[in-house]
Structure 1
Amino acid sequence: MATYANTWRNKVWTGWFLMQVPLIFYPIRPELTVPKVMDLLEFIWPAWAYEPAGAPLHAAYELKQWYIQKYNDPIVQWSPETATGHDSWMGLFLYLEFAFLLPTVLYGVYRLAVQRRGTSGGDELLFLVYALEVAFTTLVCLYDTVYWDNAVYSAELKRELQVQLYGPWLVIRKCSSNLKSVTGLPGPAALGALDMATRILGRIKAADAASETRKVQ
């Protein structure tokens, strides 16, 4: 019979997943989004839904154009048509986000916000992989900025991207003011992976202890 872990940290995960849904489908606030999220705008929606003025997602499209104009981030601007070969990993991350991260976020909302049963061992393994994927892909993006052409990207601009965008998302991505009022806590990434790894380790230790008890009996 499955056992479920109910802890205050589930509220942090719930807040995180709830925040991700609008960011993935309708990213409109610069302080709450990162380049990887804005990539999905053109991946999920047809052009008529965001390009024309007055389109439902035009605000998200304008945000992306603002971000490109401000940072000229090649990760956000990647597309199969403009790929140069060495940057094919950007496309891989994009497909991975659509195929794995999005379904996991929706499942996390269902499990923690709708069912509210806590996490099972399977959930914890899934969320561990999710958190590691978020941390790893963000680390790759952060590391890639180091090698951007210095003639195009100033050291100041690189530091801003590394310290204000990619770095915080790698370690802890704080919730918005509204979500923070609910959870009062930062959201998962590297710390989320640590949380789920700790839960899984606890289950393994409990199983080992139960096995030893049966042997003694």
Structure 2
Amino acid sequence: MATYNNTWKNKVWMGWFFLQLPIILFMDLLDYMWPAWLYEPTGAPLHAAYEMKEWYIQTYNDPIVQWSAETASGHDSWMGLFMHLEFFFLLPTVLYGIYRLAVQRRGTSGGDELLFLVYALEVAFTTFVCIYDTGFLDEAVYPAAVKRELQFQLYAPWFVLPTLMAIDMATRILGRIKVADAALRARKSQ
């Protein structure tokens, strides 16, 4: 199976995966996958992650990061689905990406590229939903300037970079398809 060893692009992917791993484990899924005794009490092993998440919430009052099934108001019930996607799809893909690109260092196969394309599209789409949703936050609590900060400073990079990463993987896959089509045409012409 052919691999793409496009080193600088693979290094961007690897950097992204290394950035995503602690965010997924210790911010997004902190209270979803870890028991409270591991992060809430002072001196708990993951208390620093808990304090960082609390700082983020106090600084930005981001309702998406504060979401829980108990506090869901009905309109944002999609967040539960996003949490499941993050745990069952994004986290395993990030771990696999780190293994494939940082441990094996063998580049990407066609299967990897398809997986990473779906991953990038999923991250871009769910982030876009979050950007869109923040536009409907209560004006009394979230003035326009705060909404813009949430949308353009905090969420936009998590939409733009995965979109560019999806384009990278789509280009790689298209390259494979063109090579396969050319080989098929060459066989037919013989």
Q: What is the identity, as a one-letter code, of the residue corresponding to 1:15? A: G
Q: 1:103 aligns with which of 92, 98, 106?
A: 92
The residue aligned with 1:5 is 4
Q: 2:134 aligns with which of 111, 123, 145?
A: 145
The residue aligned with 1:114 is 103
The residue aligned with 2:177 is 204
- Asked whether 1:47 is paired with 2:36, we answer yes
Single out whichever of 108-117 and 121-130 deviates more from structure 2.
108-117
* Displacement of 1:198: 0.1
Question: Partners in 1 of 2:124 and 2:133 — Cα distance?
Answer: 14
- Asked whether 1:76 is paired with 2:65, we answer yes
Question: Partners in 2 of 1:195 and 1:96 — Cα distance?
Answer: 22
Single out whichever of 207-216 and 159-168 deviates more from structure 2.
159-168
Equivalences for 1:182-197 in 2 at 5 Å?
Answer: 189-197=162-170
Q: What is the identity, as a one-letter code, of the residue corresponding to 1:19? A: L
Single out whichever of 70-79 and 97-106 deviates more from structure 2.
70-79
Question: Partners in 2 of 1:114 and 1:70 — Cα distance?
Answer: 37
Identical-pair percentage: 74
* Displacement of 1:59: 1.4
- Asked whether 1:127 is paired with 2:100, we answer no
Q: What is the identity, as a one-letter code, of the residue corresponding to 1:14? A: M
The residue aligned with 1:33 is none
CA RMSD in angstroms comes to: 1.1
* Displacement of 1:70: 2.2
Question: Partners in 2 of 1:87 and 1:154 — Cα distance?
Answer: 19
* Displacement of 1:89: 0.4
* Displacement of 1:22: 2.4
The residue aligned with 1:181 is none
- Deviation string for 1:31-68 (max 9, x for gaps)? xxxxxxx2300112110111001111111111222222
The unaligned stretches of length 5 or more in structure 2 are none
Question: Partners in 1 of 2:120 and 2:181 — Cα distance?
Answer: 26
SS at match of 1:77: coil
Structure 1's consecutive aligned runs of 4 or more residues displaced over 6 angstroms after TM superposition are none
The unaligned stretches of length 5 or more in structure 1 are 27-37, 173-188
What TM-score does the superposition give when structure 1 sets the normalisation length?
0.84
The residue aligned with 1:19 is 19
